[in-house]
Structure 1
Amino acid sequence: MQKIHEGRNVKRFREMLGIKQEALAFELGDEWNQKKISLLEAKESIDTPLLSQISAASKYP
């Protein structure tokens, strides 16, 4: 079974929703920036609480 690359999926959903990395970083809060979003999207695995936070920030249920 192939491992799901969560960062790549975050990028796909973000792009499908038409959200720029800068906009997602803004929604996630002060400690986030475009560079951190880029690094996050390169990660194979992302902590579940952070995935929930990204989902909420991108207004995606």
Structure 2
Amino acid sequence: MGLIPEDAVRGEDVRAELGIGRQTWRALLRDGVIPSAKLGKTIYVKRTDVQRYVESQFAASA
């Protein structure tokens, strides 16, 4: 069992995948919209939390 959860991914990879700008991404993390953990210089997020955020954006626009 590792220290990093299995569904954790590098935040920068997710940001690029979603096409979100750096300032917007930092605001989402800072405001706790997407929970994150910093290990060393790398920020990690759980893919399930990112999916929840994306789904909430679809629900908000409906």
TM-score range, shorter chain: 0.3 to 0.5
Q: TM-score, normalised by structure 2?
A: 0.32
Report the structure, 1 or 2, having the larger strand content: 2
Report the structure, 1 or 2, having the larger helix content: 1
* Higher relative contact order (Cα pairs below 8 Å, separated by 6+ residues): 1
